[in-house]
Amino acid sequence: MFKSHPFSLLVILFSLSAFGSATRIQQADSLISSDGTKSYSLPTATDTLAGLTTSSTFTNKTITSPTINAGALSGTFTGASTFSGGITLTGSSLITDAFRIENAATTTKQLAFFLTGQTASTTLTFATSQTTSQSLAVPNVGAADSLVTNATTATLTNKTISGASNTLSQIPVATQIQNIVPTGTVNGSNTSFTLSPTPAVVASVQIYQNGILLIPTTDYAISGSTITMVTAPALGQALQAVYSQY
């Protein structure tokens, strides 16, 4: 005695038809899919179809919005390309005469590197040794300018160096020490006098009246370049100031 079991017969039909410059294969797959006839177009060329897991070399292909996981890239890439996310280069060189980084929202904001003026067989190396996150701000200069390094000889212009927070060495004494007569009228009533140039450090100022060293706060006060005397110098008395300009 035989038991009968229900079974389905899967029929897949293919038909060939002329379709412009290509041959179309139509698959009638109504038992598997409910969305109707499928169409596959083959080019008029002798070639090999690629499978999902077979190793293949593609040529003359345009791939739109792919997701590429790992792998190796070789050859030359031309044209403008846009990459999103992080890009890591390991043991590789970016070979170009000019390299430009653009802001994603505003492409006119750019950071550019140019190597066209560099001498052959030379390398400029950027090496960092900071232990915390740092920011390097480049000033907005009106014309081309040069950055200053520790050991290079350079002439600085338009700079203000604070003597309170810097150590200056090997500066000629004549340019360090000011020995001047403060500007102001000595008439027995005027108590305000001016120092020029302005002292970098108020604590370095020494005020003499008729050759006698005065005591800060007790005999005078200094704010910036202005001396305010507690008692107005009498007519004929001489004031002298000695201080460091830097």
**Domain-by-domain residue ranges, the chain?**
13-42, 174-244
Give the H or E element holding residue 176: helix 173-176
Counting Cβ atoms within 10 Å, is residue 3 exposed (0-12), middle (13-18) or buried (19+)? exposed
- In this prediction the pTM is 0.38
pLDDT at res. 47: 82
Residue type, position 220, single letter: Y
Rounded Cα distance between 163 and 64, Å, is: 62
Written as tens digits, the pLDDT of the chain (246 aa) is 555 555 444 444 555 555 455 444 444 444 445 555 667 777 777 888 888 888 888 888 888 887 777 777 777 777 766 666 667 767 667 777 778 888 888 989 988 888 888 898 998 888 888 899 988 888 787 777 888 888 888 888 888 887 778 877 766 555 567 889 999 999 999 999 999 988 888 888 999 999 999 999 999 999 999 999 999 999 999 999 998 776
- Asked if 13 contacts 27 with a C-beta cutoff of 8 angstroms, the reply is yes
**What's the pLDDT at 145?**
81
Tokens read off for 229: 């005397």
pLDDT for the residue 240: 95
pLDDT score for 17: 52
Confidence at residue 189, expressed as pLDDT on a 0 to 100 scale: 95
Q: What pLDDT was estimated at residue 91?
A: 65
Q: CA–CA distance from 184 to each of 95, 96, 181 (Å)?
A: 68, 66, 9
The alpha carbon of residue 61 and the mean position of all alpha carbons in its chain are separated, in whole angstroms, by 37
